[in-house]
Amino acid sequence: MRALERRLNALWYGKGSASLLLTPLSTIFSIVTTFRRSFYERGWLRAYRASVPVVVIGNLSVGGTGKSPLVAHVAATLTRRGLRPGILLRGYGVAVRGPRRVSADTSVDEVGDEAVMLAAATGLPVVVSPERSAGARLLETQGIDLILCDDGLQHYALARDFEVVVIDAVRGLGNGRLLPAGPLREGPRRLASVDLVVLNGASDTQAERSAWRGREATIAMQLVPQAPRGIGPGGRWQSLEQFVGAPVHAVAGIGHPERFFATLRAAGLTVMEHAFADHHAYSAQDFSFGDRLPILMTTKDAVKCRAFADERFWELPVGVRLLPDEGRALIDRIDALCRRKG
């Protein structure tokens, strides 16, 4: 699976022209998705309108862009303002029958890694549902003030009040083509209709942001590493600086593992990289490295390793940093939606 991901990334984000051979299939994909969206916009297909505001934090491209950390950040910030968000996901790579409530102790095999990660990180109601409208109905019974959708930008069966698109500032939109010739689920023109574009990994300079389709509603975001926490018995915390000076194993089964490795190297760590496919189901055998060196991984990976983790295993939580004024403006707009609809 990881080998397939590497080939697709080379096709979508490289400089070659091989992807042009898949353009006819992308044209078919574009026609289908365009008609589907227009059917919902014209009311020919009916979208469910929840009783609380729905905020979608999604992306145009497949693979990781950093939207889940932003969902956790927005949820935590709104909670501090006295609101109670609920979080809705599809449940990637699992066969969920109907909507299901998720807790930090729910099996990853049943609901997916991102759902368990968000439930553990926020302590808020989290629901997975292949049909997001059914998941929204379940969340409405949980005493919430709004629904935060992790992904689901293209799931038009659930009406939304606010749309955020997260883009990896390094990889951008790749070759700009739709699946399967490129990484996009919708074309770049879709950015003109969303409420906000967030560039993950961009600098704070307006020049870099304004290069994105000339949009003013674009803000920069950085993922900031926090203190590592042991996954094994005891769950102790340790500063990242304490891992400097000796090699560590870095494990990432996410959409863009190179971002995680670069974060560790930027902190001064000597990294031995182990990239797995996104949403990889780990076993103890995956960590037979022949030594007792520390193993650092993302929180998304850590939730799948708790059953067999020992003292070598550490997760590296990340926080979200936005410019104060821009972060406050984002939360203010969502807060206003809740007050207005409430």
Q: Which amino acid is at 202?
A: A
E-strand ranges in 110-206 read: 126-128, 146-150, 162-168, 196-200
- Comparing CA positions, the residue from 68, 268, 73, 232 lying closest to residue 150 is 68
pLDDT digits (tens, 9 = 90+) for 45-64: 999 999 999 999 999 999 88
What values do phi and psi take at 36, rounded to 5? Answer: -60, -45
Sheet holding 229-230, edge to edge: 229-230, 313-316, 295-298, 247-252, 270-275
Counting every residue written for the chain, the total comes to 342
Q: Record the tokens describing residue 310, joined without a space.
A: 């020992």
Lowest mean pLDDT across 92-101, 116-125, 176-185:
92-101
H/E stretch holding 74 reads helix 67-80
CA 114, 116, 119, 125 torsion-angle sign: positive
DSSP 225: E
Cis peptide, bond prior to residue 99, ω within 30 of zero: no
Which residues on neighbouring strands pair with residue 87, listed in sequence order? Answer: 126, 148
Yes or no: say if 88 and 50 are a contact pair by the CB < 8 Å rule: no
- Calculate the dihedral angle through the C-alpha atoms of 330, 335, 340, 342, rounding to the nearest 10 degrees: 150
CATH topology of domain 2-222+322-341: Rossmann fold (3.40.50)
Which residues on neighbouring strands pair with residue 313, listed in sequence order? Answer: 295
Beta strand pairing call for 146-150 and 54-58:
parallel
pLDDT at residue 169 greater than cutoff 60: yes
pLDDT at residue 265 greater than cutoff 70: yes
The pLDDT of residue 54 is 98
pLDDT at residue 172 greater than cutoff 80: yes
Q: Record the tokens describing residue 246, joined without a space.
A: 């000796």
DSSP 242: G
Instruction: State the chain's mean pLDDT as an integer.
Output: 91
pLDDT digits (tens, 9 = 90+) for 70-120: 999 999 999 999 999 999 999 877 778 889 999 999 999 899 999 999 999
Yes or no: say if 102 and 126 are a contact pair by the CB < 8 Å rule: yes
The pLDDT of residue 211 is 56
The pLDDT of residue 210 is 56
